[in-house]
Structure 1
Amino acid sequence: MRQGKSRKAALVAMLLVCAQIAACSSDTGTESQAESKPAEAGKTGTGNAASKSFASEKPLELTIHYHDGDIWVFKDDWPVFKKAAELTNIKLHGVAPPSATNSKEVFNMMLASGKLPDIIAGQKLDLNKAALDGALEPLDDLIDKHAPNIKKFLQDNSWAKAGSIASDGKLYYIPYMVEGEASEGWYMRKDWLTKLGIPAPKTKDEFYETLKAFREKDANGNGKKDEVPYFSRDNKEGISDLLAVFGVRPDWHVVDGKVQYGKYLPEYKDAILNISKWYKEDLIDKEIYTRGPKSREVLLGDNLGGTTHDWFPSTATYNVTLKDKVPGILFAPIAPPNAVNGKPWEENSRTLLYPKGWSIASSNKNKIETIKYFDFWFTPEGRRLENFAIEGAQYDVKDGKPIFKPEILNGKDPVNVQLRAFGAQLEFGHQQDLFYEEQWTNPIANEGIKMYIDNKYFAPQFPSVSFMPQEEKLLGEKWPAIDTFVREMQQKWVLGAEQVEPNYVKYLARLKEMGMDDVIKIYQAAYDRYQKSVK
């Protein structure tokens, strides 16, 4: 962001734009002509033709604030939403300034304007805070009376509502949800394993020996000791992925009903001791804290990288893009090499409930029509529209399934990027359809995904909890400093700038002094409330 006067001028300009928003659409107050029948949760529908399910008796325009980064700003001419207008009789008009790049700043200025658009999209924390301040309408009664598809979905998936409600127990926004457990997994150069005559590792000791073999036995065959056995493109969490090899769940998780934080546990010491040893032995990328997002391109492209932990679909693509530069490359998924307690597990699974969605402003004069419009996106027609865009343009229906056209699957940009240009695959209140992703995922990645799902590798994830206002305040005061301290100490230990022993005791004492126990109590209380809500 620009500094000084230019920054202030930009903020003033945005405030003026927000103040001029036509927050009140035509006040029809009408019921819909016909309500859609509830859709089966998790189903997209198989009909070729979309049926009209008007949310408003008369054509109605609603204003919407949707600003999710500098490229995801609502556009009135998105084909997906123009089609939705035909099917619902409701047209949306975006009011967020497209030139702004700081979504949180734009959101706050929109609220400060005092004149709110009919629909407000944003982050869970921001939406629920605005709701408790009176800016948003509670949706529970509206859903119960006018949104049969949303109602059924939330009844069938109680976790979605439990993870979205505000601290007063009410639901103020419809969340964005995805499908499928698999997100990340372990990838290893299987062509190197074959060359060296060793199997894929299954335990931490075997993993260590495999990394050593990559480094010491000239796995890439160039006569140099230049292999980088383990690398990561995540400067912040690349080392944390290795913690699972030692049986440590690095972040928030629950054991027998008790909330724990992995880097505040005794076993974290043993893990970080070993990881620092591996780093010293050149088994871990020396630039793991600085190399950044291009690590896969650089280290795989130079035939140096041996192992990483990353997203299934994108990581598998290097087998195709590098096949001419690195003949015979086979960078493929392996089972998690961490059978510490007898069964391997994968720490990272897909976040099914994103902390994002859209809501109805309390000043909206067409609340019934708006909730019916929200409900449309949970019908088979609406869900297909947002997941696959326009039939005949981006996809065709074959055997009852939406199949992307070759020009979409083979386009120069990723499929999801292409679809967003049409208004599809946005992160507002609807459920993603995993079939959209399966169509463009590399076969190698799909095999890995199937292996992880079939073997039930995924560890239980910490749920999306809500905090009381006083809890949020305390977390805001304590957690940023704690998180920074934890990251700094981990980096010092790994790089050898400070020894783990005897300083680990001091590390734990410092965390306690910074209020870590209070933070855990807050998470425990929030988790307990979540458990009561989900039952």
Structure 2
Amino acid sequence: MKKRKLMAPILAGLMIFSGGCSDTSTSSQDSKDGEVEELDFFMHASNGYFIFNDDWATFKEAAEKTGIKLKGTAPKSSTNSVEAFNLMIASGEIPELVHGQKKYLNKFGMEGAFLPLNDLIKEHAPNIQKYIEEDEAFLKANQGPDGNLYMVPYISDGVVAETYFIRQDWLDKLNLETPQNVDEFYNVLKAFKEKDPNGNGKQDEVPYFSESNILGLSSLWGAFDDVYIENGEIKYGPYENKFSTAMENLAAWYEEGLLDQEIFTRQKSREYLLGNNLGGASRYYPGSTAGYNDTLKESVPGINFVVMSPPENTEGKRIEPTKRSDYGNNLGVAISAEVENPEKMIKYLDFFYSEEGRRLMNYGIEGETYEMKNGKPQFTEKALTANDGNIVENLRSYGAQVPFSFHQDFEYEKLWMNPIAVKGIEEYTKGDYFIEEMPNLSFTEEEEKILTDIGTQIRTYKSETVQKWIMGADKINHDEFKKRLQDMGFEKFIEVYNEAYKRYQNS
């Protein structure tokens, strides 16, 4: 198979962008009748956390099913995925299959490096085509601004991203009820601070801590910390007046010691604060967080860190500002524009959208990591206990649950989650506490530049200012804050989002 030689204008621009080029590509072996065909495949994601491994068992099994074997070409020494991708492009040659971020695959797809896949899928990939026909967001979320699909996406599954957690054992000890609104939440945090729920005779409790983003609490006052949709328009939460109210309250909570005083700098807060019986409430991923009830049951006897519903905010609404997005990972696999047999390439990718291929990528190898019981996969004891009980890392060692082109199955998570997490996820799903989801928008190259240049300035300034406000290092002045955003080009920034949103709605 021949690799795509980049057109000169594209190559020249990339050399300027990346500061040079290097030829690290390797050639594929030509396939012969009756033999497995080997294809070069570039996959370097999450800054080196995911680099394709030729020995992954799932892809070896896929080779037996499809007659195609992948050979990884991404440099294992690189720790910068964007740089690795750009160097691969700048080398002037593109492997037959390329994994990458949507914005880059679309950009170079529109410039001729990757094949538009719409017709190929319709004619040769029935499993992928079924997704297109059943989910209108499949194309809307992944196609380029020109309307063409240049990648087969990785689709995540499930709805709930983060949930509130609270120490039920502390509530019980203090004879308190689960808080149902923001005022009750404040009173509970105050009691955690003052009434010694850990029983050590010291006022050392940390009522609320965060391991992701303290601004998730801003929804308690009807505010949001990034772009969101309201009445058909995209807005930027920190620019809206409700954000000022949220900051005033969070600053007051911080001053009273209700928020972790090291909330902006503390690393691994769950391990430290729960492990030392100091932490009272938080918001984070339910699966991993509920797991601390198991890992700490001996060192913190009676710990009962449970999911609670979002407290009603000052507007009487229960809101969870985070939500999983099917296509929010913005990852997928593209096909080089000059492969000799594009039909074979798309059929290969289609396998992973089949029931068999999806099960392979979600659960690994039958008899090794899972067994079928009553028609459903169940993880083996080996899968559940290897790698110190980290089932996800164990599956990834086989090549399952890596962000290749396939549809994740949320049921795989429920098989290893603590029941507290499963119950909480079901509660949040049933309660539908989520705001309208931001769709996975596609941007033109010019729009991407605006979001990179102006958007980075805005978000950096926001983060620095919020930290000063909450810690009391600077007086909250929202009018001045908004003026600074305007000076940075806020109007262009928010216009880009709304123009992309209009295209999404009309596509």
TM-score range with shorter-chain normalisation?
Answer: over 0.9
Match status 1:489 vs 2:465: yes
1:22 corresponds to which of 10, 14, 27: 27
**Counterpart selection for 2:153 from 175, 178, 191:** 175
Matched, 1:206 2:211: no
TM-score, with structure 2 as normaliser: 0.93
Distance in structure 2 (CA, Å) of the matches to 1:297 and 1:178: 27
* Matching of residue 404 in structure 1 with residue 409 in structure 2: no
Q: Does the residue aligned with 1:229 lie in a helix, a strand or coil?
A: strand
User: How many Å separate the matches in 2 of 1:498 and 1:80?
Assistant: 54
Task: Say if 2:395 is the partner of 1:419.
Answer: yes
Specify which of 227, 247, 268 is matched with residue 272 of structure 1.
247
CA distance in 1, matches of 2:307, 2:235: 29
SS of residue in 1 equivalent to 2:330: strand
Q: Do residues 286 (structure 1) and 290 (structure 2) align?
A: no
| Secondary structure class of the residue paired with 1:410 | helix
**Corresponding residue of 2:339:** 364
Is the CA contact (8 Å cut-off) linking 2:21 and 2:91 kept in structure 1? no
Give RMSD over aligned pairs: 1.7
Please say if residues 181 and 458 of structure 1, whose CA atoms lie closer than 8 Å, have aligned partners that are also in contact: no
Q: Kindly provide the CA deviation profile for residues 380-417 of structure 1, in whole angstroms up to 9, marking residues without a partner as x.
A: 11111111111111111100111110121123141111
Question: 1:225, 1:272 → 2: CA distance?
Answer: 26
Counterpart of 1:158, as a letter, is E
Q: Does 1:305 align with 2:279?
A: yes
* CA displacement at 1:16 relative to structure 2: 3.3
Q: CA deviation at 1:93?
A: 1.2
Per-residue CA deviation, residues 263-321 of structure 1 (Å, 9 max, x unaligned), is 110010011001001100000011001102x1011111111110100000111111111
Match of 2:94 among 116, 122, 132: 116
| Aligned residue pair count | 487
Look up the equivalent residue of 1:119 and give its one-letter code. L
Q: Is 2:234 the partner of 1:259?
A: yes
- 8 Å CA contact 1:124, 1:357 repeated in 2: yes
Would you say the 8 A contact 2:37–2:68 is kept in 1? yes
Change (3 A) 1:14 1:415: farther
Instruction: Tell me, in whole angstroms, the C-alpha distance in 2 between the residues paired with 1:459 and 1:64.
Output: 38
The one-letter code sitting in structure 2 at the alignment partner of 1:484 is T
Alpha-carbon shift at residue 364 of structure 1 (Å)? 1.5
* Contact 2:368 2:383 survives alignment (8 Å): no
Which residue does 2:502 correspond to in 1? 528
Partner of 1:388: 363
Q: What amino acid is aligned across from residue 157 of structure 1 in structure 2?
A: D
Worse overlay, 65-74 or 190-199: 65-74
Aligned to 2:4: none
How much has 1:340 moved relative to structure 2?
3.2
1:138 corresponding residue in structure 2:
116
State the 1:479 CA deviation. Answer: 1.0
Q: Contact 2:221 / 2:315 at 8 angstroms: preserved in 1?
A: no
Alpha-carbon distance, 1:154 to partner:
1.3
In 2, Cα distance between equivalents of 1:454 and 1:240: 24
1:457 aligns with 2:433: yes
For residues 144 and 31 of structure 2, the distance between their equivalents in structure 1, rounded to whole angstroms, comes to: 29
User: Does the 8 Å CA contact 2:21/2:90 hold for their aligned counterparts?
Assistant: no
C-alpha separation between the residues in 2 aligned to 1:229 and 1:247? 22
Q: Distance in 1 between matches of 2:390 and 2:182?
A: 35
Whole-angstrom CA distance in 2 between matches of 1:415 and 1:108: 33
The answer as to whether partners of 2:369 and 2:380 remain within 8 angstroms in 1 is: yes
Contact 1:14 1:97 in 2 (8 A): no
2:444 and 2:21 map into 1 onto residues whose CA distance is 31
Amino acid in the other structure paired with 2:254: Y
5+ residue gaps, structure 1: 1-10, 29-55
- Asked if the contact 2:166–2:281 (Cα under 8 Å) also holds between the matched residues in 1, the reply is yes
Aligned position for 2:144: 166
Give SS of 1:22's match.
coil
Which amino acid is 1:487 matched to?
A: S
> Structure 2: how far apart are the matches of 1:492 and 1:268?
15
Q: CA deviation at 1:197?
A: 1.1
**Normalized against structure 1, the TM-score is what?**
0.88
Deviation at 1:12, TM superposition (A): 11
Equivalent-residue separation in structure 2 for 1:189 and 1:523 (angstroms): 39
Alignment of 1:469-488 (within 5 A): 469-488=445-464
Taking only the aligned residue pairs, the percentage that are identical comes to 43
Mapped pair 1:74 → 2:74: no
Mapped contact 1:66–1:122 kept (Cα < 8 A): yes
- Which residue matches 2:9? none
Q: How does 1:275-354 map to 2 (within 5 A)?
A: 275-292=250-267, 294-353=268-327, 354=329
Separation in 2 of the partners of 1:12 and 1:259? 36
Displacement of 1:438: 0.8
Aligned-residue offset at 1:203: 1.0
- Give the equivalent residue in structure 2 for 1:105: 83
Partner of residue 61 from structure 1, selected from 12, 16, 38: 38
State the shift of 1:166 in Å. 0.7
Aligned equivalents of 1:134, 1:83: Cα separation in 2: 32
Q: Return the offset for 1:249.
A: 2.4
Offset of residue 458 of structure 1: 2.2
**Structure 2 stretches of 5 or more lacking a match?**
1-17
